[in-house]
Amino acid sequence: WLLKQSSRMRTVWAYKILFLDVLFPLNVERILFVDADQVIRADLADLYFTDLKDHVYGFTAFCYSRKEADGYLFWKQGYWKSFLQGLDYHISAMFLVDLSKLRTTLTADMLRGQYQMLGRDPESLSNLDQDLPNHLQHVIPIYTLPREWLWCESWCSDEDKQKAIIIDLCNNPANRSETKLESAKRIIPEWQALNDQVLRDIQQGGFEKMEL
């Protein structure tokens, strides 16, 4: 009964956030979503077992330490600014969900209701997997994870990169022509070595069943 999405990208975004209560068996109590274009420099178990202090979600807040991005901070103006009332706007490239709590609080039902209501306006929900949990914050607060867990060049400063644990290749609103592979080589010093290692493993048959 939910509004259908016409683009495949938006359908994937919808599944990623709207159906987490029914996608997994009941004995799965927690999930960690990690975007496929991230390089992780630590043990993800530390993140997975973060104490969410009784929250349904753990997200990092959108970074705004890069001065060149000042003109693109959409949540610091207009609709989002007045809606958030000083709360952070969070990024959906990586997030933690306490599924048990998501189910008992009926959070996914609330998200689907919001999706149905806001989705009628074609101008809204341009990043629906991100907009919906942020929009529900006054009812279902988000636990803000320490910001070193997610760094991306478009929004975060070079200084913050020194402490970055996860590097995401998020889109750059000022430069849309660079491909993800070009970005990876330019931004992540260890990427080439990691890529070479994967290629060697494939040649040795280690990943023969994996479709790359």
Query: Closest CB to Ca ion among 97 and 170?
Result: 170
How far, CA to CA in Å, does 71 sit from each of 3, 53, 163, 183, 186? Answer: 32, 34, 25, 22, 24
| Residue 173 near residue 154 (C-beta atoms within 8 A) | yes
Tokens standing for 23?
């996608």
Query: Closest CB to Ca ion among 97 and 152?
Result: 152
Selected from 19, 24, 32, 37, the binder of Ca ion by CB under 5 A is 37
Residue list 53-82, contact with Ca ion (CB under 5 A): none
Cα dihedral value 31, 36, 41, 47, nearest 10: -10
Compute how many residues bind Ca ion; rule: CB under 5 A: 5
> How big is the CA angle at 166 (ends 161 and 169), to the nearest 5 degrees?
80
Query: Closest CB to Ca ion among 98 and 153?
Result: 153
Nearest Cα to Cα of residue 60 among 35, 25, 36, 78? 35
Burial class (CB in 10 A: 0-12, 13-18, 19+), 88: middle
Query: Closest CB to Ca ion among 21 and 168?
Result: 168
Q: Give the binding range for Ca ion (CB under 5 A) out of 1-9, 37-45, 131-139, 190-198.
A: 37-45
Over the window 101 to 140, marking each residue x when it contacts Ca ion by CB under 5 A and - when it does not, the resulting string is: ----------------------------------------
Residue number of the CB atom closest to Ca ion? 35
Selected from 14, 18, 91, 93, the binder of Ca ion by CB under 5 A is 93
Give residues in contact with Ca ion (CB under 5 A).
Answer: 35, 37, 93, 168, 170
